[in-house]
Amino acid sequence: MSTETHTWVGASPEQAIAQAAERYRNWGRWGEDDVLGTLNFITEAKRVQAASLVRSGTTFSLSQPFSSEGPQKGWRRRTNPVHTMTDTGVEAEHGMQGFPHGFGGADDVISMPLQCSTQWDGLGHIFDRGKAWNGRAASSVVTSEGDRVTGIETAAAQVLTRGVLLDVGRVCGTDGELPDGFAITEEHLEQTIAAQGSSSQVGRGDIVIIRTGQYTRAKRVGWQDYAGGAAPGLSFGTVGWLHRTEIAAVATDTWGFEVRPNEFEEAFQPLHQVAIPSMGLFLGEMWDPDDLALHCAGDGVYEFMLSAAPLKIQGAVGSPVNPLAVK
């Protein structure tokens, strides 16, 4: 058990969350008007370092499909995308589109929650006891008009940096996968870094991608309860590691980033409750690191340039993303 985990022993869930929020709070660290949180750790020099990691130009998409087939089940109105064609080759072939000289085309629309597949949680997504990132009142940040302060568009030009894959599923699991309910501790993270070697050392401004293998399993056996059910994920006890390493963001291949069922009774996503509103840490969920993980295992290099810009959706509290890892 890590020293961070020991901190919460004997405390009630509410006390543990409050203590962690106070201990690892970054409010005011980048000024009272800050809207970027830990993305401030990504400097121009950090981006130059990230670019220097590109050797072969091999590129990996870390996005799951945006598909009507899954993984969402409707919880809190989170549904799967509805993709509709508004113009097709049928209309074009039969001259039904009204264009001159044989010109034809296709168009489509999509309707979906912004967090139905591979996505970022923005800083306006989670509150702690009525407070949003940097100590602002939640009601003054997110209204019916959207996030008027830390909308996801504020991060649109920020998310390019050094990425590091921690394949915890491969190092600590069975056949490359962690079982549902497996709590990843700080020790598991450090064990993975040690096993992978120096290229997986984590530092300021990095984005850490944690592979648990749950998405690998979902591809093999079906979605089942992937969206909201039991899952491997980060233990609440890793909150100190997340703060101490000064990473810019962290992403996983699971629906909810942290271990489920959650470690505290009568609590919901307690690590979210500290990481986003108090630390200002960007969280990514439902990423697909499998192809990247195979390549990293093959060449022994677990660092790469990562570009993962959210869509510039004004006032949104989250965004779909197609993260690209370039080695």
Q: What is the pLDDT of residue 5?
A: 45
Closest CA to 207 of 160, 244, 166, 250: 250
Residue 321 · residue 305 · CB < 8 Å? no
Residue 321 · residue 311 · CB < 8 Å? yes
Q: What is the pLDDT of residue 3?
A: 43
Q: What is the pLDDT of residue 290?
A: 98
Could you read off the pLDDT of 141-174 as tens digits, one per residue?
A: 999 999 999 999 999 999 999 999 999 999 999 9
Closest CA to 249 of 148, 151, 121: 121
Q: Which residues of the chain have pLDDT under 50?
A: 1-6
Pairing of strands 233-234, 183-184: parallel
Could you read off the pLDDT of 193-204 as tens digits, one per residue?
A: 999 999 999 999
Q: What is the pLDDT of residue 1?
A: 40
Burial class of residue 235, CB neighbours in 10 A (0-12, 13-18, 19+): buried
Which domains are delineated in the chain?
3-75+114-326 (3.50.30.50), 81-111 (no CATH)
